Structure formats: structure tokens, C-alpha cells
Amino acid sequence: MRLTFFGAAGTVTGSMHYLRVGRKDILLECGLYQGKRKESYRRNRKLPFDIRRLDAVVLSHAHIDHSGNLPNLVKNGYDGPIYATHATRDLCASMLPDSGRIHEYDVKYVNKRRKRQGKPPMEPLYTEADALRTLDHFVGTGYARPIRIARGITVTFFDAGHILGSAMVLVEAREGDRTERILFSGDLGQPNLPIVRDPTPMPPADTLLIESTYGNREHPPVEDIKARLAAVVNQVASRGGRIIIPAFAVGRTQEIVLHLH
Ligand SMILES: [Zn+2]
């Protein structure tokens, strides 16, 4: 088994992990690196492996930093399956075309400036049409159902309790007479979140890849959130102020709306 981290290592966005087991090549996640425009464009555009060798792509959840470069992968010739849960597939059906539109608008804006500077126009990373074609490659499945993705390799999704459809991915690969179990946590939720179910206990594994975005931070208990939010809202409302809440669009925003409601 060989594992290469092409993103979300030393940084939080652009999840992309390349797994070679036996003679099969599997990509775990194909996320968008999100940073300053120029650097993001450069990092996202050039996929750092040979696409023709890929046998399958497996996606843990729909967040753009995990799924957002899939249309670029397909645009550059990937023709195989993308395995994900049904809900992840459904979310991607809205989010990836939306992301394509954003790339198109963004490049239009940049090209206006480049034209004034006498520079050649840039191409969008991918378009809405590229994203729509990507959806045809998705193979949706349920939780806890092993699915064969290549000869000798199965994948099983377990609820990660992070956002709708989010999953931990167990890859089981037969090499000779032994089976290697690689567990990829994806992004993990906390227990007692108001909308999604609690994360399933992790199945046993030989190798564990685990997200560590908040690995160095202790979150306050989920049960306190409502009271703390209410205190802030009431305080601002009582002096006639306005409240602006920047929040991730998928997952976090729905939680906040629910609490406010
Ligand atoms: Zn996420």
C-alpha cells in the first residue's frame, strides 16, 4: 500500500489523497484549494498525478474543499466512477454546478482587467457544463453497505455526523491472502448536533487517516450553543444593532438558522 497526500496536509483545504493498493489507484477526495486567487488557480489547475492510471474516486462528503475539483478532473479526462453516499451525490448536484458558475463569473471579472493590461484572457478552472458532466460519474450508495470498486477492493461508508451524507470511508483491499483495512475519517462531526445524526463508532482498521482541523482546540459543549447565541442576539437587539453571521453555507448555516428559529 502506498499513500500520497496532495492536499489538506499542512493546510486545511484541497483534500486530495492518492492511494495505491495492489495494482489499483484510488483517489480519496478531489477538493478545491481555497486561498488567494492566483495561488488557488495555480494549485487547483494542475492535478499532480496521472489521471489515466486512476481506477476510482471515493468522496467522503460534499463540502467544496473535498469535492470542488472533481469537475476539473473530469474536464481533464477522468472517465471512471466517483463513489459517494446518495445524499453527497444530491448535494454535489447543486454545489458543483454552482461552483462552476462562480469560476466562470470570476474569470470574466479577471479578464476584464487583463484586457485593459493587454494580457491574454484566462480560462475558468471549469464551467457549469463541466460540473454537470461530472454528475454522470457519481455512483451513490447507502451507509454500511460494502461496495466493490475494483478487483479485490471494497469500500464501505459510515456516518461521520459532519453534514448531510458525510461519511467515514473504510477501504478493504485484498493483497495476496491478507486484507488491509484503511479507514479514512473524512471530516468528523461532534455528537449531539441538532440536525445530523451522531458519528458512528469507527470500525477497526490497520491504518487510520484522520482529519485534525480542530485537533488542537477544545470546543465548548454543543448544549451551550443555544444559550450563548441567544445572549448575543438579545444583547445586540436590545441596543437596536444588526447581526451579521459569516458561516459555511452547507451545514453550519442550517444549524444557525435552526437555533435562531
Ligand atoms: Zn467538511
- CA–centroid distance, residue 16 to ligand 1 (Å): 13
Based on the fold, state whether residues 94 and 20 are members of the same structural domain: yes
- CA–centroid distance, residue 63 to ligand 1 (Å): 5
How many beta carbons lie within 10 A of that of residue 68, not counting itself?
30
Per-residue model confidence as pLDDT tens for the chain (261 residues): 899 999 878 788 899 999 998 789 999 999 999 999 888 999 999 999 999 999 999 999 999 999 999 999 999 999 999 999 999 999 999 999 999 999 999 999 999 999 999 999 999 999 999 999 999 999 999 999 999 999 999 999 999 999 999 999 999 998 888 999 999 999 999 888 889 999 999 999 999 999 888 888 888 787 888 899 999 999 999 999 999 999 989 999 999 999 999
Read off the pTM. 0.93
- CA–centroid distance, residue 64 to ligand 1 (Å): 8
For 143, the grid coordinates are: 451507509
For 3, the grid coordinates are: 499513500
Task: Tell me the one-letter amino acid at 81.
Answer: P
Give the pairing type, strands 24-28 and 2-7: unpaired
Based on the fold, state whether residues 160 and 255 are members of the same structural domain: no
Structural domain range at position 231: 222-260
Based on the fold, state whether residues 37 and 154 are members of the same structural domain: yes
Provide the CB-side half-sphere exposure for 52 (13 A, CA): 0
Task: Tell me the one-letter amino acid at 124.
Answer: P
Based on the fold, state whether residues 120 and 187 are members of the same structural domain: yes
Based on the fold, state whether residues 107 and 234 are members of the same structural domain: no
208 phi and psi, to 5 degrees?
A: -120, 125
Residue 217 counted as domain residue: no
Domain of residue 95, CATH code: 3.60.15.10
Based on the fold, state whether residues 135 and 249 are members of the same structural domain: no
CB distance 74 to 99 below 8 Å: no
- CA–centroid distance, residue 234 to ligand 1 (Å): 30
Based on the fold, state whether residues 172 and 241 are members of the same structural domain: no
Residue 214 counted as domain residue: no
Based on the fold, state whether residues 103 and 227 are members of the same structural domain: no
Task: Tell me the one-letter amino acid at 97.
Answer: P
DSSP 8-state code for residue 218: P
Q: Domains in the chain: how many in total? A: 2
Based on the fold, state whether residues 147 and 187 are members of the same structural domain: yes
Based on the fold, state whether residues 7 and 98 are members of the same structural domain: yes
